[in-house]
Structure 1
Amino acid sequence: MIALDHIAIWSDNLYRTTIELSRMTGIGSADGGYFPGLGLGQKIISLGGGVYLEIESIVDHTMIAERKPLALELERQTAAGDCFAGLCLRSDDLDEIARFAAHRGVEVATGIAGGKEVMVPRQKRGKAAHAPDFLGSWLLGKPNIYYVADLDTHSSTLPAQPGTGDVRGLGVTSLELGGDEASLREWLGDIDPAELGIDIQFNGLADGLYAVGFDSTAGPQVIRLAPITL
């Protein structure tokens, strides 16, 4: 079954961005750890319903000093400020992901950054099968799909750190995307975006994510950022 999993936000300072988003929404944040192979650190803000914001920035200075491709791309994308980097779906059916990969003409990736794991406080989160590779989707302004068998160790379940916010997200209700419905359907193949159970609005601009609406214990809210630059 297909579902919305998480929304990636790129920042030049994940602490600043996370604090600003928590102050704006009232929702607390958790430490999401880092990707050793990418030099990315992350903070997590749960929007409820198994969906979370993944705020990312480069935290390993050697990636910047050595001008690694992802560090250069993130630097380029955030030159004008924070942006929505990726719209990430999930499925609990590996066959569904394999069919999507075949539709896109790619192989199912079986790890992150060449098999590197996500290192988080007190535990490791497993490698995630996904298609296409995240940059192969995000830089086109299109979603990719991750395999998530259950939500027991899902990042959306990480408890908010004390003092970061008391509001709880109650689930995503809407997305504003660039492009049009026909383009999204062509990208997804036999996956019906209506299965997400979310109101998807198209603004006809460049592909990418422009806004996410969600319910919360403080009432309905919307987060709007610039989309990734294609």
Structure 2
Amino acid sequence: MISIDHIAVWSDNLYRTTADLSRATGLGSADGGYFPGLGLGQKLLSLGGHVYLEVESIVDHRMIAERAPMALELERQTANGDCFAGLCLRSDDLDEVAEFARHRGITPTADIAGGKVRMVPAQGSAPSVHAPDFRNAWLLGKPNLYHVPDLANHSSLLAPQPGTGDVRGTGLTAIELGGTEAELKDWLGDVVAPADLGVDIAYNGGPDGLYAVTFGTTDGPRTLRLNPITPRS
């Protein structure tokens, strides 16, 4: 079964953006760890229903000083503020990931440069097999697909750090995408229909990317609207 797993937000300041999102929504945040090979740190805000926001920024100053590719990309994408970087789907069936990869003409991968270091080591598992990688999905304004066989240790279940927010998410309900439904269907192929992703999808006909997310909370519905990623030409 395929559904939405998480939504990546790129920022030039991990802590500022996380605090801003918590203030705007009331949601608490957890520390998601970091990727040594990419210089990225993460904070996570659960939207409920095993969906979460993944806030990322460069936390390794050497990556900035050395003008590493990821640091340059983050700088480019966040020049006009925080942005929705990636819409990430999941499947509990590895065959579905393989089918999607075949449709996209690629090979699934579990490689993430340098791996990931989690602040709560027992949470999560080894890097998920996924397709395509972010360069060939997010940077095109398109979703990618991860193999998540077990939700028992899902990142959305990490307890928020005390004092970061008392509101709890009750589930993602709607998203706004650029492009058209026909274009998303073409991207996804036969692996899943957009209507079967479990949320209402509005298409604004603009450049590809994610523009807004709406979700329920214990304090009523919330909508977050950020810049979409600037698709790579």
Give the counterpart letter for 1:95 in structure 2: D
Aligned to 1:218, the other structure's residue is in SS state coil
CA contact (8 A) 1:86 1:141 kept: yes
Q: 5 Å matches for 1:36-47?
A: 36-47=36-47
CA contact (8 A) 2:28 2:45 kept: yes
Which whole-Å CA distance do the structure 1 matches of 2:115 and 2:92 have between them? Answer: 20
- With the length of structure 1 as denominator, give the TM-score of the two structures: 0.97
Other-structure match for 2:17: 17
Q: 5 Å matches for 1:1-230?
A: 1-113=1-113, 116-123=114-121, 125-190=125-190, 191-230=192-231
Aligned to 2:95, the other structure's residue is in SS state helix
Aligned to 1:127, the other structure's residue is in SS state coil
| Gap regions ≥5 residues in structure 1 | none
4+ residue segments displaced more than 3 Å: none
Which whole-Å CA distance do the structure 1 matches of 2:154 and 2:132 have between them? Answer: 20
Which string of whole-angstrom CA distances, capped at 9 and with x for unpartnered residues, describes residues 29-57 of structure 1? 00001011110000000000000000000
Which whole-Å CA distance do the structure 2 matches of 1:15 and 1:225 have between them? Answer: 17
Aligned to 1:41, the other structure's residue is in SS state strand
| Gap regions ≥5 residues in structure 2 | none
CA contact (8 A) 1:8 1:85 kept: yes
Aligned to 2:117, the other structure's residue is in SS state strand
Which string of whole-angstrom CA distances, capped at 9 and with x for unpartnered residues, describes residues 109-157 of structure 1? 12222xx322111306411100001121011100000010111221101
Which whole-Å CA distance do the structure 2 matches of 1:64 and 1:81 have between them? Answer: 18
Q: How far 1:94 moved relative to its partner?
A: 0.6
Which whole-Å CA distance do the structure 2 matches of 1:29 and 1:182 have between them? Answer: 36
CA contact (8 A) 2:181 2:194 kept: no
Which whole-Å CA distance do the structure 2 matches of 1:205 and 1:156 have between them? Answer: 30
Which whole-Å CA distance do the structure 2 matches of 1:133 and 1:179 have between them? Answer: 21
Give the counterpart letter for 1:118 in structure 2: K
Query: For structure 1, which segment, 156-165 or 122-131, has the greater mean C-alpha deviation from structure 2 after superposition?
Result: 122-131
Which whole-Å CA distance do the structure 2 matches of 1:229 and 1:167 have between them? Answer: 31
Aligned to 2:3, the other structure's residue is in SS state strand
Identical amino acids, percent of aligned pairs: 68
Aligned residues: 228
